[in-house]
Structure 1
Amino acid sequence: MDGILPLWKTKGMTSHDCVFKVRKILGIKKVGHTGTLDPEVEGVLPICIGEATKIVPFLTDTTKTYRAKVTLGYSTDTEDQTGAMQKQENVDAEISEETVNCVLQEFCGDITQQVPLYSAVKVNGKKLYEYARANEPVERPYRQVKIHNIRFLATTYDKVGKTQAIEFEVTCSKGTYVRTLCVDIGKALGFPSHMSHLVRKATGNLSEQDTLTLDQIQECVDSNQPVPLLSINKGLAHLDKLEIDENIKEKVWHGQKLPLPSPRPDTAFFRMTYHNQIVAIYQIHDNKKEIKPARVFRLNERK
């Protein structure tokens, strides 16, 4: 089996748990996921199987789309609903949809985020959450990320609890912390806040509509039906494509460098396909005059 299993991860499972379950159900060792989802987050988690494990970094680097909820009124030490309450400030009057939407749009484009304290990012060889658990001070690094699109969905005001929840959809670059985005949105609105809910709706061009649950995968195996995998080519649709002939295909399969094509590809990495089937991923050589292989595939790929 070679392809991408677009899994819908349920709450309560780690990404590693999902890989372990898929290996057990399919009886295959060569399995890898394409970007960690926290246990309390559900959503699209592409699982690469067989030869598709070669493209894990290329799927990890794609944009992600999330549906998130930020709750104004109090912050937590983890920046999400799992943490202990820190600052609290009543939202005494409902903030209008117009004001919320204006603030959301301020976050479109390139933004700077401070990495959350409860994260696996390392500082001086030690993970930030290890500093947090040991109650040790540490300077958290900043990152540049990109918000491609952010869209207001709904808002709900709680008169009793004096909080306000705001739901939005965001498409963002690799490395974006949505919980930090929620905290920053709260600050822009003048209140301590935290991320109270998160669902990943898409990874690159793989969306919720493509996904299967672990139960559905088990049903396929139990009924001797093939598990519907997506092609490696589909998973790499965000990369430019160069269609090659049989002569070039043989050179590609042997890992040869090739002259820089014209027009030059727009993406740093690009697909080489033969009859619309993936053969390799190439990149610009350091000499800027040639292209060289980054990954080579020899398979009869599913269309």
Structure 2
Amino acid sequence: MKEAGIIPLHKPSGMTSHDCVVRLRRMLKTKRVGHTGTLDPAVSGVLPICINRATKVAEYMSAYNKTYKATVSLGTSTTTEDQTGEVLDQVPVDPSMFQDLDQTLNRFRGEIEQTPPMYSAVKVNGKRLYEYAREGIDVERPTRRVKIHSLELIGSLKKNEETGNIEFPIEVTCSKGTYIRTLAVDIGKAFGVPAHMSSLVRTKSGPFTLEQTVTFEQLEQRIEEKEGLGPYLKPIEMALSLFPSVVVSEETERQILNGALLKETKELSNERTAVYNGRGECLAIYKPHPERPGWVKPEKVLKIQE
């Protein structure tokens, strides 16, 4: 059986998430490869990639909270809200204008509203916003609520001698769908100045951290040495560690592998529950049955019956 699991890839800047998938398909000689949450080409960092059977859990992983380190640049706005866009507006700035920075950042902690940038993959009337942007068409963008779990200043204000902007680094842990570049722009608006995000690294995605990531070069070396993916391939169970879980008997395991419904218990009453056997293998994801109260049904059976 082909190797299956999750590769916590260190995505390099300059590649799209899809580029990473295509490269890994060629390297691993399998079509069953999928990423778990798009990173913009200019962004580097943690991009969990599901391989073979692990592609079954990719949809759950996209909902993970993410952590980023970013640089906010005050004084200039751009078309893309980051360093890759064309300059829209620029004003002279000075550090003295931002003395209440901590107090201002506090306004963005917790639940906030964001309007996605025009250069984004959000769909409006069946079409991506970036497609409208490339055609020069301005459309009304849907406002969404996202959650900023933490927002910390991790360095001091500094003047960028090349641009004249005032910059500072932040670390953000946030919910799915949060745009850090939009956060940077909104922080600038709170001070009444144009702003953009000048750098971004994703340092965590769910349980996967930057320290656990592997580069393409490391993977290629491992493949050339014909050693398999080994320690670079994380188990499917790691991806599901954020779900409530329950361990079942061997008899129940056999029923689960046949797709059986189960009686609802306290442990199985969650929105989703990861069901394990005694050997630590995740068998399936169960959820309450929508039409049969008191029963739960498999949303996805993950283990192949041997």
TM-score, L = length of structure 1: 0.94
Match for residue 214 of structure 2? 212
Identity %: 43
CA distance 1:159–1:20, change in 2 (3 Å): closer
Between the aligned partners of 1:243 and 1:128, the Cα distance in structure 2 is 44
**How far apart, in 2, do the equivalents of 1:194 and 1:63 lie?**
22
Output one character per residue of 1:194-253: Cα deviation in whole Å (capped at 9) or x when no partner: 010000001101111111100000111111222121000011111111111111111111
**Tell me, what secondary structure is at the counterpart of 2:50?**
strand
C-alpha separation between the residues in 1 aligned to 2:106 and 2:268? Answer: 34
Is the contact made by 1:94 and 1:164 (CA closer than 8 Å) also made in structure 2? no
Partner of 2:287: 283
- Is the 2:33–2:50 contact (alpha carbons within 8 Å) kept by the matching residues of 1? yes
The aligned residue for residue 242 of structure 1 is: 246
Aligned residue among 260, 263, 266 for 1:259: 263
Residue in 2 that maps onto 1:123: 124
Contact 1:94 1:157 in 2 (8 A): no
- 1:20 alignment counterpart: 22
Q: Give per-residue Cα distances to partners, 1:178-199, cap 9 Å, x unaligned.
A: 1101111111122110010000
- How many residues matched? 298
Residue 263 of structure 1 and its aligned partner are, at CA, apart by 4.4
Partner of 1:134: 135
RMSD of Structure 2 on Structure 1 (CA):
1.7
Which portions of structure 1, spanning 4 or more consecutive aligned residues, are displaced by more than 6 angstroms? none
Q: What secondary structure sits across from 2:100 in the alignment?
A: helix
Once the two structures are superposed, what CA deviation does each residue of 1:9-31 show, in whole Å capped at 9, x if it has no partner? 00111111111111111112211
Q: CA deviation at 1:126?
A: 2.2
Structure 1 residues without counterparts, runs of 5 or longer: none
Q: Which residue of 2 aligns with 1:274?
A: 277
Question: Residue 117 of structure 1 aligns to which amino acid in structure 2?
Answer: M
Partner of 1:103: 104
In the TM superposition, residue 159 of structure 1 has moved relative to its aligned partner by 7.2
* 1:70-91 Cα shifts (integer Å, max 9, x gaps): 1000101110111111121211
**Is the CA contact 2:245–2:267 (under 8 Å) kept in the aligned structure 1?**
no
Structure 2 stretches lacking a partner, 5+ long: none
**2:293 matches 1:293:** no
* Distance in 2 of aligned mates of 1:99 and 1:270: 45
Q: How does 1:113-262 map to 2 (within 5 A)?
A: 113-158=114-159, 160=161, 161-227=163-229, 228=231, 229-262=233-266
